[in-house]
Amino acid sequence: MNKLLWEVNSKLRGSVLQSSQVLDLTVSENQAIRAQLEDALQKLKEAPADNKNLIERSMLKKMMQKKFRMHLRGLSRLIYFGEVDSLVRQREEGYEDFLAESVVPFSRFT
């Protein structure tokens, strides 16, 4: 009878040990999944602010591009109407002779 009890006890210990190992594995997997969930929730909370920043940067870039295009259009109009020479003379004194010869109004070529 003692031998039978010893075998049952041994089997129960093995079963408890196996169950304990399965439980430990399940708990560690649960902790890993919770950490992933926390990361995902944090990213989800930050998403609206990130989207807002992205939109603001995109709008700023578009505004800068439009401003640059407008600046180029203004310069092309000045060149077309031959007003660059007078502007350069106003800003940089001493170069009048050189600019008067090198800047030719567009209307002379038409």
Burial class (CB in 10 A: 0-12, 13-18, 19+), 99: middle
pLDDT category of residue 36 using cuts at 50, 70 and 90: very high
Task: Please tell me the number of Cα atoms within 13 Å of 56 on its side-chain side.
Answer: 6
Question: Which pTM was predicted?
Answer: 0.46
- pLDDT tens string 74-91: 777 766 666 655 655 555
